[in-house]
Structure 1
Amino acid sequence: MPKELKKRGRRAEKQRQEADGHDGPPSKKRRVEEPASSFAVNGDAGDDFITFGQEQDNDEHNDQQTTFYGLLTEEEQGYYANVNNKISANDFEDDEDRANFVEAVHRESAGKEIKVASSQSSSRYLETIIRLSTANQLRSLFLAFLQDLDYLVQHRFGSHCCETLFLESAKHVVTKSKSTEDGNTLFENLFLEAAEKLQTNIGYLLTERFASHTVRVLLLVLSGQPLQDAAAKETVGSRKKGKPDYAQRSEADSTEVRKVPISFKKARRDLMSAAVSGLDSNYLRALATSPTGNPVLQLLLRLELSENDEKGQESHVVLQKLIPDQSFEPESDSSKFVSSLVYDSTGAYLVQALVRYLPGKSFKRMYKNLFKDRIGKLAKNEIASYVAISIFERVGKDDLAHALEALVPEVPGLVERNRLAVVRTLIERCSVRGVDLLRMHETLAQTYGDGAVARLQKMLKLEEMAATTSKKGEEKKEEKISVDLQGSLLAQSMLRTSQLCDLVQESILAQPDSMLLQLAKSPVASRVIQVALTSEKSSSKFLRQIVPKFNGMVSDLALDASGSHVVDALWVATNGSHFMKERVAQALQSNESRLRDSIYGRTVWKNWHMDLYQRRPREWQATAKGLDHESPQDSESKPKKSAIELARERYVQKQSKNHQPHGPANTVQASA
């Protein structure tokens, strides 16, 4: 049927509006009337947005979204750009100068914190300032953000500032209420107020494009879980957001379980309860395949299952709604639901979370009924293989032996498709559990070939790269190689396993000197050489054969970014063979001038204690043989004792000698 002839353009649209009875001008955004139970969805949420089902006033939400705090002037934008340049360049005399500079920036930002956080460029600079701020400065900024926290957490740029503020403020939370100075508010109260403000719209915020990250960070802070471990980064952080170089965060502290006030536990439970209280099982399962809802479920399951509660399974509200039947019978709805997620690119992450955090009894039933008989098929699939890896990390020795028998016939196909992460994880877990890897040894030997020279090259997928050209256009005759990362990781795992290390060791020994030099200079392949030299599974016979192969190339390797680490590994490899260590030291001494002119050479010179080798050879020999329990660096780092301290030590030693009983005298007295 021919279509109706229509005119395009704004004038034609206006004529049609007037013909339909619309007198006013056409608006750019048409608002569709919906029932009272509908939800206001932000335009940035995307087509895959799924709300948590909590009702809210559409008019109020639209008014909130239209809140405008103004734009920064060009002078203000230039000011914050200069602030960022000064901090990035670290152009400060000392720490006090930097602290005064940060304080001046906070004074300049007073009263316009939300406007700065909403700026596309200046919000990044504000994150830098937050990481360098003191407790009082963070407290003032926190109070400013609380004025309109709902707006900031949903803002594209302000949400990142809120995340950084929560993470940095979490360091200053105390477990016991202490009296504050100058009337300052405790960080505990600030976090509780933030949770109370967000609890009203928590169902919408958890699946909102920008607010979901910030709310997940808040839940982690309230739970006391580590903020920088692998599980937190998977469920909280965005993959596109990298960590800046200027981040002044202690990774050692952030990966440990934190002590939080008791009030945080109640606040977190209230947030989680408000999010899922009005949801049924079907609606909650729909979030499993949502790119925004899936991380939410992962975090909720992790927090719920990792908490030791007296109520036990009664407190597992999310788990009970997501998987009502935890017996995992083959024909149950729970089994069908989990099986449908295994091969889904998004849902597989939720299955991994279930494998990691499910209680022991529930996991055993799930593994027995769903995964045990088809573990080989899971390992062959590109998506389900990650579920198989998580299973290998949790099951016991008997289940690992069963998985090994099922997976060994699939190894050639996995190697051909470069699915080496499954093989590597299975080898590592079997080595930890003490499972026999004889069949894996035979299969890998057949897969990579019997030729020792070609075995390592095939494992690393070595390919020679074209010669690079210099800035002047002249060709360099440097030969570089391309190395596969997964193959390198597999070779390292084999070197750490007593039953498989000989396959890689034989291949390393069989390599020509030119190829061994290229491997040692490759950023990826040099890791294999380092593990071969430092692994506990490397026998003394292998080390006596491999170390002399580097004698003629020590100086060249010491000047290379990757090769210098190989030279450092030779210090460990030559333990017990002092003449080999002296030969390497002589090679380094003969190229002293070249090493001192290179940043990598100076590092090698320091790690090999070459200054001690030249000035005090006897002390160097004692250090090389391991006779001294204290390295020269440790002795130099310790503060020297004063004269009065040395005199006190001599006095104590003299007094102890005078009060010691004499053996012969005591014997005479006893006989008398």
Structure 2
Amino acid sequence: MPKENKQRGRRGEGKRKREPNANEEPVGKRLDVGGISFVGDTTDSFVPPPFTEEADGRPFYGLLAEEEQEYFRRADELLELNDFPSDEDRSLFLANVFKEAEGKELKIANSQSCSRLMERLILLSTAEQKKTLFQKFSGQFLHLIQHRFASHCCETLFIHSAPIVTQELTEDEPAPSGEVYVSMENSFLYTLNELEGQIGFLLNDRFASHALRVLLVVLSGKPLAKSSTKTLLQSRKKENITTPGFKSSAEELSLEARAVPSSFQDAVNKFISDTSAILDETSIPVLSCHQTANPALQLLLELELTRPTKAKDLAPEASGSILKKLLPDNIETEGSASAAFVSGLIYESIGSRLLETLVTYAPGKLFKQIYRSTFKDRIGALARNEIATYVVIKVLERVSREDLEEAATSIIPQIPSLVERNRTTILKTLLERTSARRAEKSTAAITTAIAEAYGGDPATLLLKMTNTTKTAPEAESAEKAEPRQDLTALHGSLLAQSMLAIPGLPATLIQDSLLRLDLPTLLHLACTTTTSHILQAALIPTDPSSPSNPGSANNAPFRRKLVNIFLADPTSIITLATSKSGSHALDAFWDGTQGLMMLKERICSILAGSMTELRDDWVGRVVLRNWMVELFVRRKVDWIAKVKEGEGGKTVAVAAKEEEGEATDTKKPFPAKTGKGPAKKAGDGKSAIQLAREKFAAGKSKGEMKVVRGKGTGANAGMIKSR
């Protein structure tokens, strides 16, 4: 029989004595909490006491039974599919789920398998149901926002309750009734009272920090759905819980800035003051470079610098100011604490984000001091650094024209190394800013340096810029999933699109490169997701007379040449029409042939010749609808009228939708012909049949009898009378 493996002798005894906690009594596998032993309590009849304390001090709200978990999981799946026969059935199902979840809200929010259902219920709930949920969570928010799953439920509740606050500001208070009315504003204020005095450790808590940022955005009235706000609110790994086909009216308010009560602004100011109180010489460097606390600090600094208060409150000398704690003295003084703080953040991967916020929202006087002391003399060297280049981009967006020209002079010698390392974002920003500041000489010098960095040959410029090696699309590529996006191609594509939007030498450089490419290479660019946007940007018509695009030349000759390259082989049009990415480029041909009716008709004729093939492909059906090929085949005159109307300012998608809408309204496959000559002018765009009906109704009301000569046939030949 095998023996137990023991360590014998004095050495083993000495080792055991040196181990930590050697004198403590051994602890069993199950804890004896509050004198209650859980070792034998494994039967179904045992229910743990509600709101007991876990080992880490957090309350335990209990567990859902297996039947309840299965029911809620099934309900979540059904709501996600949203496959209900009617809206009434879905409303009835939702009512049953809410009824079943009553009294179990805390258990569901803390459940790994059912917390998604709670988020989905919040999305589908009414204002009163959200207020009820606030009451259920009341007193437990401090623990819920620190929980891995419940924190997501709190974030969803905060975000989708924010528009209700704005709605209640504009609505009248309800008539007094027997029930106590609690506004959504008070619900948020009660939540803030629970978190008061806990800001210090919530800033760097793994889960609570996200909920805290959401709460700050709600209180400030900032847009909730903008990408710039989302990056501060949630991580890239956050699962986006949605319900297909459902959109509440409250969600529409999340796309723009919201009106908030004055109490919310007071709460934001208190947040800023409390955070400023905990910042000292030791905590500032730690929090600034902390992965979780840094985004919250960014948001607080942005809110402080953009809050609608008097100018004296925005000064660094203001009491309770985060800016005063970050920059306690004059930054232009050599060896000052402020200069050391800014210099230490430039090369820090996390801390540089805080510096970007400071540079973006700092008052003009302070920004000039930061620029002169830190960036002006070494902006070329900073542009080469992988991390500091993003701070330089924010600086370039604010400097004056003179400083921008000096910065361009310092950065131009670094362009070859920037291109070699694929750091073209700063080049894109530099071109856009010099163009916006009307620094034509700097724009031309930067463009020339970029062309030389890519070899100087227009025939290969775009291929090197987008890291394109293939010259033709593979036959099986449409069936296979696209490979992972190439960052080199992405950055190169963005640079090319930016240059196409800048009139003069930058746009001409990319246009010449496109015209030097052969058809297979252009097809490959058009059928690739990343590079397809280059062709779409190149085909946008330019208007020299437009005040928004001064100095631009008419690019109609370039568009004609580019489209003719594709028309040299009609099969290339069909290839584009059946490609997911190429179809977008083909739709751009509609605007690209503005004023070039002959080319537009040729493309539509090619599509009409392959209607059977395109109808079998879902991408092809979209192309047929956008180009209105059905109308082109049956009633070309109406198609030409639609084209002329579209060239008056409507895109292909708008024209196609209007054509489809008219066909639905009239219950006919095609819209009626528009009036011609004087009738069209008098009718203000009305169709001929509408004008005839109005004329007939007017004559009938006067009781007139008119004789109209017509070319009738048979018994109708001669005179045709109308009443």
Instruction: Report the TM-score when normalising by structure 2.
Output: 0.78
Matching of residues 156-305 of structure 1 within 5 Å: 156-173=148-165, 174-175=168-169, 178-180=172-174, 183-244=180-241, 246=243, 253-305=253-305
Whether contact under 8 Å (1:465, 1:481) holds in the other structure is no
Moved more, 248-257 or 342-351: 248-257
Query: How far did 1:519 drift?
Result: 1.1
- 1:184 CA displacement: 4.1
Distance 1:559 1:635, change over 3 A: closer
1:543 aligns with 2:544: no
Report whether the alignment pairs 1:353 with 2:357: yes
Task: State whether structure 2 residue 97 is matched by structure 1 residue 105.
Answer: yes
- Residues 463, 481 of structure 1: 8 Å contact kept: no
**Structure 1 residue 341 displacement after superposition:** 0.4
Cα offset, 1:163, TM superposition: 0.4
Q: What is the rounded CA distance, in whole Å, between the counterparts of 2:582 and 2:592 in structure 1?
A: 15
Amino acid at match of 2:26: P
CA distance in 1, matches of 2:534, 2:560: 17
1:43 corresponding residue in structure 2: none
SS in 2 for 1:431: helix
Normalized against structure 1, the TM-score is what? 0.83
CA distance in 1, matches of 2:699, 2:330: 74
Q: Which residue identity is paired with 1:72?
A: L
Letter matched to residue 194 of structure 1: T
Provide the residue aligned with 1:568 in structure 2.
587
Relative contact order (alpha carbons < 8 A, sep ≥ 6): 1 or 2 greater?
1
Unmatched tracts of structure 1, length 5 or more? 31-59, 658-672
1:378–1:388: 8 Å Cα contact kept in structure 2? Answer: yes
SS in 2 for 1:363: helix
CA distance in 1, matches of 2:20, 2:452: 76
Amino acid at match of 1:595: L
SS at match of 1:434: coil
Counterpart in the other structure of 2:680: none
Shift of 1:274: 2.8
- The answer to whether structure 1 residue 513 and structure 2 residue 519 are counterparts is yes
What do residues 375-398 of structure 1 show as CA deviations (whole Å, max 9, x unaligned)? 111110001011011112222322
* Pairing 1:92–2:84 present: yes
| Shift in CA distance, 273/441, structure 1 to aligned 2, threshold 3 Å | closer
- Counterparts of 1:232 and 1:479 in 2: how far apart (Å)? 30
* Aligned mates of 1:351, 1:542 — CA distance in 2: 43
- Structure 1 residues 200 and 442, CA gap change in structure 2 (3 angstroms): closer
Q: Following the alignment from structure 1 to structure 2, what is the Cα–Cα distance between the partners of residues 304 and 168?
A: 24
Amino acid of the structure 1 residue aligned with 2:612: S
Aligned residues: 614
1:373 matched to 2:377: yes
User: How far off its partner does 1:496 sit?
Assistant: 1.0
Partner Cα separation in structure 2 for residue 159 and residue 144 of structure 1: 15
Alpha-carbon deviation of 1:109? 0.8
What is the CA deviation profile of residues 518-554 of structure 1, one whole-angstrom value per residue up to 9, with x for unaligned ones? 1111111111111111253661111110011122211
Specify the alignment match of 1:306 in structure 2: 306
Determine what percentage of the aligned residue pairs are the same residue.
40
CA contact (8 A) 1:492 1:528 kept: yes
- Per the TM alignment, residue 328 of structure 1 is displaced from its structure 2 partner at its CA by 3.2
CA separation in 1, counterparts of 2:306 and 2:331? 20
CA RMSD of aligned residues (A): 3.6
Q: Give the equivalent residue in structure 1 for 2:122.
A: 130
Contact kept in structure 2, 1:467 and 1:479, CA below 8 Å: no
CA contact (8 A) 2:541 2:594 kept: no
- The corresponding residue for 2:337 is 333
* Corresponding residue of 2:658: 634
| Whole-angstrom CA distance in 1 between matches of 2:584 and 2:476 | 26
User: Which residue type is aligned with residue 74 of structure 1?
Assistant: E
User: SS of the residue aligned with 2:237?
Assistant: coil
Quick check: 386-395 or 561-570, which moved more?
Answer: 386-395
Task: Say whether residues 1:25 and 2:29 are aligned partners.
Answer: no
Question: Equivalents in 2 of 1:29, 1:293: separation in Å?
Answer: 36
Match of 1:492 in 2: 497
Question: In the alignment, is the contact (CA less than 8 A) between 1:309 and 1:315 conserved in 2?
Answer: no
> In 2, are the aligned partners of 1:464 and 1:480 still within 8 Å (CA)?
no
Shift, 1:465, TM fit: 11
Q: Are 1:467 and 1:480, in contact at CA under 8 Å, matched by a contact in 2?
A: no
Equivalent residue number for residue 720 of structure 2: none
- Give the CA deviation at 1:66: 3.4
Paired AA for residue 485 in structure 1: L
Distance in 2 (CA, whole Å) between partners of 1:386 and 1:221 is 28
Partner in structure 1 of residue 622 of structure 2: 603
Q: What displacement does 1:619 show?
A: 1.5
C-alpha deviations, 1:610-637, integer Å up to 9, x for none? 2221222111112223378684633664
Q: Does 1:422 align with 2:426?
A: yes
Q: Distance in 2 between matches of 1:559 and 1:400?
A: 46
Amino acid of the residue matched to residue 421 of structure 2?
R
In the alignment, is the contact (CA less than 8 A) between 2:540 and 2:588 conserved in 1? yes
Q: Mark the runs of 5 or more structure 2 residues left unpaired by the alignment.
A: 1-9, 32-51, 543-551, 667-689, 703-723
Cα 1:141–1:295 change in 2 (3 A) is: same
For residues 148-172 of structure 1, the C-alpha deviation after alignment (integer angstroms, 9 at most, x for no partner) is 1111011111111100110011121
